[in-house]
Structure 1
Amino acid sequence: MMPYSSNTSAAGAEGAEQCIINDQMGPFIVLYILVFITGLPGNLLSLWAFISSPTEKQQSSRIYLVNLLAANLLLLLALPFKILMDIGAAPWNLMVFHCQASAVTIYISLYASIAFLAFIITDRYMQDCPSLRSLRLHEVGFARLLSVVVWLLLLLIMVPNMALPTKRVQVQQHLKCSSLKTDLGLHWHALTVFLCTALFLNASAAVLVSSGLTLKRLLRSRCDPKLWSDARQAAASVTAVAAAYVLSFVPYHVVRTPYTLAQTKVINDCSTERQLFLGKEATLLLSVLHICFDPMLFFCLCSPFRRTARKMMSYCRRPTDCNEEKETVQPTTSALQEAAV
């Protein structure tokens, strides 16, 4: 889109350059709403469980899990703005706000989740490996420092996308966020994508190496029948977490780079840009889906969280039990009254 100059020139430019890529968002809207509805209760329950769980014995894994939960909550805060924009029900100012702020927030939370999932998997390997227990890499202080570094690094990379000046464009139903960016904004956006892709590649290498070494160590215990059953369960859990990581984040990064080339006008074909946009949205949805399954990860890896969650579930069951008892008592009382009459 072109900035305002005159009605005639703007209309002519639009007819020549307009390429609507986000007019087929119906299926994505439904799926994003389902992800939001499914992920919100589990993460709110996780937040309450972490707040209520005891903290006398802090562990590095708990630090990473809490930061992963913070990334999930940040994503849940930004997701409604994306849904409203995709529906087309958002006012113009809210659409611009999504492009400048909430869309960037989604990517901050996405890459924070990638980093902390990689830390969790690596930390689990280091805690189970006797030769690495003497290192300070899995200590609580180091985990806190590493978490702060991750958040500061992501903010340093992403916040300029919010702060850089934007162009004025005509009000339209299907706003393309890249049309708001100046040349400087587009160049910084491309740099952001490549820096975050480098972060993802490093995190993926750590995940694959840690998972492979964990599986190798677990499979060595197959000679001991007493340890083999536990080793198989542990190997299955490690494989499941690593596979979920790969399936959630690898497809998105395969599509992300060529789509960025289309945003920066390196790829100018409209039909190609539409296909890349739909591929980016589909794989982004796959990446966002992790917020629905992370509460199960919290439950499996954090014993204080498990205890608190079980207490909460037991408290939730008690009122229903009391109601059932009242319902059984009431017919008996009424029957006695009828008998007395």
Structure 2
Amino acid sequence: MGLNLTLAKLPDSELHSNSSQGWGWNSTARSEFDSIVLPALYLIIFVASLLLNGLAVWIFFHIHNKTSFILYLKNIVVADLLMTLTFPFRIVHDAGLGSWVLKPILCRYTSVLFYANMYTSIVFLGLISIDRYLKVVKPFGDSRMYSVAFTKGLSICVWVTMALLALPNVILTNVQPTQDNMHECMRLKSPLGRQWHTAVVYINSCLFVTVLVILIGCYIAISRYIHKSSRQFISQSSRKRKHNQSIRVVVAVFFTCFLPYHLCRIPFTFAHLDRLLDESAHKLLYYGKEMTLFLSACNVCLDPIIYFFMCKSFSRRLFKKSNIRTRSESIRSLQSVRRSEVRIYYDYTDV
């Protein structure tokens, strides 16, 4: 983050100091992009995320942990809120409103927190897809897999694992900041910190690819199962089609937010590809990486769509609190009114 294309802007995957490459495109347009466009975009999603996730927290507070699915959604809400709290630091720094002391804070804490919670959300999206697969394809499997206690234990394991991966990046960013090294996060890390940073980059990449495969596999398996059973059990297939539609929402959010960024960061992850690019390609790649990273951050605003379309308890509570009837409730109310009118008609004709 900032006006130089350094590892502070690319804390999750870039392993070399790009400022030493001698790239000659540090133009006014780029400065405006870094100091005006990006802070404005992150300010928009910061406000939107506070509103949407604040509403989600309020609704989930009134919903009991009765299923594993609801527990996974609540964990995503927590990860999204923690990720949202990092946006103001980036906004202030990129807009040039903060002092130089803010830079080490970004490198040591907020950037680490941003990526840790981003990948925590990715893992829970994968667990949600597995949960939907088990509920549709194997509804009578091992009951322990569906229990709330098992889900709580698994969720704790996810948080502990992600914390163990992130904490060394905080501890090992321990070099005293100076005017020479404060512009690059990697220079604030110890040699062991740089090695750990490299290891975490590849671990997170493996997590993303694993969840991507799980999402695609679960979606295909659910679609095939529903297609085969639709002809035999029409009444059950309509309910299972809703599960298929709900996992489509997860796949759509996942592909929209996270896939572009991980495709764009490949040249940064594999440094030999990065060095083969010319100056204009570097410029395009930089803008592409920043915009795809922004798409990843937009996940905090798109996750509430998952809550609304996939969780009946969430949508019902939302409609109830806002005094808006769902479609099914409106139909039932209309049917009740019609029955009452018919009853009154017959009572009148009998007089």
TM-score in terms of structure 2 length: 0.74
1:101 partner amino acid: Y
Among candidates 304, 307, 331, match of residue 298 of structure 1: 307
Among candidates 63, 73, 94, match of residue 86 of structure 1: 94
Deviates more, 1:186-195 or 1:264-273: 264-273
Superposed CA offset, 1:278-329 (max 9, x none): 33222111111111121121123333323332232139xxxxxxxxxxxxxx
Tell me which residue corresponds to 1:196.
204
Structure 1 residue 140: deviation in Å? 1.1
Structure 1 residue 219: deviation in Å? 2.1
Tell me which residue corresponds to 2:288.
279
Tell me which residue corresponds to 1:249.
258
Quickly say closer, same or farther: Cα 1:231–1:269, change in 2 above 3 A.
Answer: closer
Superposed CA offset, 1:159-202 (max 9, x none): 11111122533179x93433433443322211111011111122
Gaps of at least 5 residues in structure 2 are 5-18, 325-351
Mapped to 1, the partners of 2:289 and 2:156 lie a distance apart of 29
Indicate the structure with greater helix content.
1
Gaps of at least 5 residues in structure 1 are 2-14, 316-341
Mapped to 2, the partners of 1:216 and 1:74 lie a distance apart of 37
Mapped to 2, the partners of 1:306 and 1:41 lie a distance apart of 16
Matches within 5 A, 1:186-335: 186-223=194-231, 234-261=243-270, 267=275, 271=279, 274-314=283-323
Mapped to 2, the partners of 1:241 and 1:65 lie a distance apart of 12
Mapped to 1, the partners of 2:74 and 2:188 lie a distance apart of 35
Mapped to 2, the partners of 1:71 and 1:169 lie a distance apart of 33
Tell me which residue corresponds to 1:60.
68
Superposed CA offset, 1:71-124 (max 9, x none): 000011111111112212121111220111001100011001001111112101
2:163 partner amino acid: L
2:45 partner amino acid: V
Say whether the 8 Å CA contact 1:190–1:260 is kept in structure 2.
no
Residues 1:37 and 2:53 are matched in the alignment: no
Say whether the 8 Å CA contact 2:267–2:273 is kept in structure 1.
no
Structure 1 residue 43: deviation in Å? 0.3
1:240 partner amino acid: V
Quickly say closer, same or farther: Cα 1:100–1:273, change in 2 above 3 A.
Answer: farther
1:102 partner amino acid: T
Say whether the 8 Å CA contact 1:60–1:140 is kept in structure 2.
yes
Q: Secondary structure at the match of 1:292?
A: helix
Tell me which residue corresponds to 2:344.
none
2:97 partner amino acid: A
Among candidates 136, 139, 147, match of residue 128 of structure 1: 136
Say whether the 8 Å CA contact 2:132–2:247 is kept in structure 1.
no
Q: How many residues align?
A: 298
Mapped to 1, the partners of 2:321 and 2:123 lie a distance apart of 30
Mapped to 2, the partners of 1:212 and 1:138 lie a distance apart of 21
Residues 1:48 and 2:73 are matched in the alignment: no
Quickly say closer, same or farther: Cα 1:231–1:95, change in 2 above 3 A.
Answer: same
Tell me which residue corresponds to 2:9.
none
Among candidates 67, 81, 95, match of residue 73 of structure 1: 81
Q: Secondary structure at the match of 1:137?
A: helix
Kindly report the root-mean-square deviation, in angstroms, between the aligned alpha carbons of the 2 structures: 3.1
Tell me which residue corresponds to 2:153.
145
Mapped to 2, the partners of 1:179 and 1:40 lie a distance apart of 33
Mapped to 2, the partners of 1:249 and 1:274 lie a distance apart of 21
Tell me which residue corresponds to 1:169.
178
1:120 partner amino acid: I
TM-score in terms of structure 1 length: 0.76
Quickly say closer, same or farther: Cα 1:16–1:33, change in 2 above 3 A.
Answer: closer
Superposed CA offset, 1:108-153 (max 9, x none): 1100100111111210121122455334223211111111111111
Structure 1 residue 229: deviation in Å? 6.2
Mapped to 2, the partners of 1:176 and 1:190 lie a distance apart of 15
Mapped to 2, the partners of 1:17 and 1:179 lie a distance apart of 15
Structure 1 residue 245: deviation in Å? 1.1
